[in-house]
Amino acid sequence: MTNKKFENIIIVSDMDGTFFGTGAGVVQKNIDAINYFKQNGGKFTFSTGRVHYNITHSGDGVADLCNCPAICANGSCIYDFETGNTLKETCMDTDAVVEVIRFVNSISPTTGARCSTPYGFITHALFGLIQKDVAHFKGGRVALKPLDKWDGEKIYKLVFRDEAEPLLRLRQTVAEKFGELFTYASSSPRFFEINANGCSKADGIGFLRTLYPEAKIYAVGDYENDIEMLNASDVSVCPANAMEYVKKSADMTLCDCNCGVIADLVEIIERSI
């Protein structure tokens, strides 16, 4: 008979810089711990800026680790890998997305833009870091379309790509111009991410609470786009490599992502039972 000691416990983990080690490397210690956690009644899933098809094609059976719905595209898509169904989606206004891209093009022509859709990336111009992103993109489609042909596209997330300093200046300018029309975040110094107003990883935590009202939710993350998720969880955790200002939102800081922070968390949960 399977031990259910982790029943009604959910671990929700960011991917890059948290579940993955440096360079998106899989940490086997995490894999083993997650499987043990699930075998003993626990539920595990991801909360990430990535979209579901990108998780599926990240290799090593990573998507198969999820036994409850995943929070994708910074909360814009809730996806169930077990059934292959999208349970909830929050799409951006396409006209507004095109407007902000045109604005950014006018003031920062070196900055690239790409959008996550239910089926793949869409971009209007391939250059710089966007071209590198697309070259490494696994799974789904990559659509290159002029902005005036974007009508009807379902867009989960808009990402601007550039070096850290120009992106920081750009973020300030875009936020001043467009205000509360969008939610602004970052998952890396070279990523400026925009979602629909009010949409964040915390929305996904709220959705999981409707599915599992008795569950205790542990959230693990390392960067700015994880802060609201950490605040919305019952227990918030950061790896040692997390940004210092993110650690302030966490109840505990564990080992570096390269050393298996999810495995450490499973051990702590087990000792607390």
Q: What is the DSSP string of 229-242?
A: HHHHSSEEEE-TTS
pLDDT for the residue numbered 1: 46
Mean pLDDT for 43-57 is 93
Span 88-143, pLDDT tens digits: 999 999 999 999 999 999 999 999 999 999 998 999 999 999 988 887 776 668 88
Instruction: Please give the single-letter amino acid code of residue 68.
Output: C
pLDDT for the residue numbered 214: 97
Quote the CA–CA distance of 136 and 129 in Å, as a whole number. 11
User: How far is residue 222 from each of residues 20, 21, 86, 103, 160, measured CA to CA in Å?
Assistant: 11, 12, 26, 30, 20
Verdict on whether the full-model pTM lies above 0.85:
yes
Domains and CATH numbers, the chain: 9-89+200-272 (3.40.50.1000), 94-196 (3.30.1240.10)
Span 20-34, pLDDT tens digits: 998 778 999 999 999
Tokens 């083993």 correspond to 32
